[in-house]
A = this chain, B = another copy of it.
Amino acid sequence: MPGLVLVPAHIGELSGAVTFDGVPTDEQLAEVAFYVPRYLGSADTLRVMARMPRLQVCQLLMAGYEHALPFLPAGVTLCNAAGVHDASTAELAVALTLARLRGIDDFARAMPEGAWIHGARDALADRRVVVVGAGGVGQAIRRRLEPFEVDVTMVGRTAREGVVAVEDLATLLPTSEVVIMAVPLSPQTHRLVDDAFLAALPDGALVVNVARGAVADTDAILRHAGRLNFALDVTDPEPLPSGHPLWHAPGVLISPHVGGNTTAFLPRARRLLAEQIERFAAGRPLSNVVVEAPAP
């Protein structure tokens, strides 16, 4: 018997699991072996692991896991939810790309005054698109872009079949018309979109960021806004303060970090948890392991 599986109530009932709302009871804390902290919960939802003497696995509901490391008890395996947000985030990347190219943000802002601002626009069709980040989100973006009659180039950490190495990105930029950032934040990707990156892009190019705000240099964006277009789901700082000049920069569309928080989350989260709980109960290896507990 592998022990109690504890899942937050917002996920709903799952076979083999017990749900908790708010904080687990003392009895649950004493017994829990597989723990799922609630989605977008506070640090307290991680700190409580110190009170779980029988804990073996912590399963997160997001791809990022660095925030959980300081709270992970020794000997506990940490799993992330890479994949759960791919559909929602990739969909937003395509939505932002299309909205800015076709001017839907301009049309929306002109509606209160009833302005019919007809005119020619760029189509996504025929554009040369570069997706920086060839992981789950990047590949989900590529699949969604493909039927739009575009030319898509994937860029990843290392060159492989269908993927150009990030070292060679500079050679692609002068002919790129749309660049979509879908990389994890790391020392290598921190401010990857800097002044030199933007200066290399042709006039009118569009930069889309659904990664993390710090992947781009906000001052550089402000310098190139107008000559270039931007569609940003993430900003640096975040949330963007109401007086920040980025809100008013020409050619910039901002969505308030809504890549993952959609109806697509729950069914995909439930699917992952059901699989993981089944593996755990059967003593089979878990997927999405990001910190492996040392063998006992």
CB of A94 closer than 8 Å to a CB of B = yes
The verdict on A107 contacting chain B, using a C-beta distance below 8 Å, is yes
Count chain B CB atoms within 10 A of each CB in A94, A105, A106, A256 and give the residue with the most.
Answer: A256
Whether B267 and A114, one on each chain, are in contact in the complex, defined by CB atoms closer than 8 angstroms, is no
Does residue A248 face the partner (Cβ distance < 8 Å to B)? Answer: yes
Which B residues lie within 8 Å of A254 (CB)?
107, 111
Residues of B within 8 A of A113 (CB): 242
In contact, B107 and A102 (Cβ under 8 angstroms): no
0 or 1 for each of A116-153: is its CB under 8 Å from B? (1 = yes): 11111111111000000000000000011011110000
> Which residues on the B side are within 8 Å of A91 (C-beta)?
98, 102, 123-125, 148
- The reply to whether the CB of A60 lies closer than 8 angstroms to some CB of chain B is no
Identify which of A51-59, A70-78, A160-168, A257-265 touches chain B. Answer: A257-265
- B146 lies within 8 A of A256 (CB): no
Instruction: Sort chain A's interface into a size bin.
Output: 35 or more
Q: Specify which chain B residues have a CB less than 8 angstroms from the CB of A147 in the assembled complex.
A: 143-144, 146-147
Given contacts A98-B91, A118-B239, A125-B88, contact A104 B108 (CB under 8 A): yes
Q: Does A92 contact B (CB under 8 A)?
A: yes
Asked whether, in the complex, the Cβ of A123 is within 8 Å of the Cβ of B264, the reply is yes
8 A Cβ contacts from A232-267 to B:
239-244, 247-248, 253-258, 261-264, 267
10 further contact pairs, Cβ within 8 A, besides A105-B105, A114-B247: A88-B125, A95-B104, A99-B99, A99-B104, A107-B255, A109-B109, A109-B112, A121-B258, A122-B262, A123-B262
- 29 CB < 8 A contacts A-B: A87-B123, A87-B125, A88-B125, A91-B98, A91-B102, A91-B148, A95-B104, A96-B104, A98-B99, A99-B108, A103-B255, A103-B258, A104-B108, A105-B107, A107-B253, A107-B255, A108-B253, A109-B111, A112-B247, A113-B242, A114-B240, A114-B244, A118-B257, A120-B261, A122-B263, A125-B263, A126-B263, A126-B267, A147-B147
